[in-house]
Amino acid sequence: MPTRGIFLAVLLVAGCNIFTPYKMDIQQGNFVTQDMIAKLQLGMTRSQVRFALGTPLMVDPFHNDRWDYVYLYMKAGSVTERRRFKVRFSEDKLARVEGDGVPAALNPAPAERPVVPAAPAPPDQPAAKPAAGG
């Protein structure tokens, strides 16, 4: 009789979710540090960028001029850290760097667009009247 009670207690405890299995910490992707980013200079070749940052996690076959470096850190089954870093090339030279922790020196200012004045309303339409307040 006492063995049946112990067996029943073990089954009840085993059926509960009180005890969960161990979930190990997982690091996936490329961890790009500030030291690695500091080595980058505009105009570097693809091989020089690969030497400084490592092999990219993803190379888009449709956009051959972009490399993506993605890093995930999972602790106990949930993502605790996520970093994204993109490197763009123009004519096989480093042209732009985007992502977490990128200094402004690596991103050239975009060319300013000229301000184009709005076109006047067509003459056959009356001007809009202000709404009556009240």
In the chain, the domains with their CATH numbers are 19-106 (3.30.1450)
Tell me the percentage of the chain whose pLDDT exceeds 70. Answer: 64
Read off the pLDDT band of 104 (50, 70, 90): low
Between 62 and 2, the more confident residue is 62
Per-residue CA distances from 63 to 6, 29, 39, 94 (Å): 64, 20, 24, 14
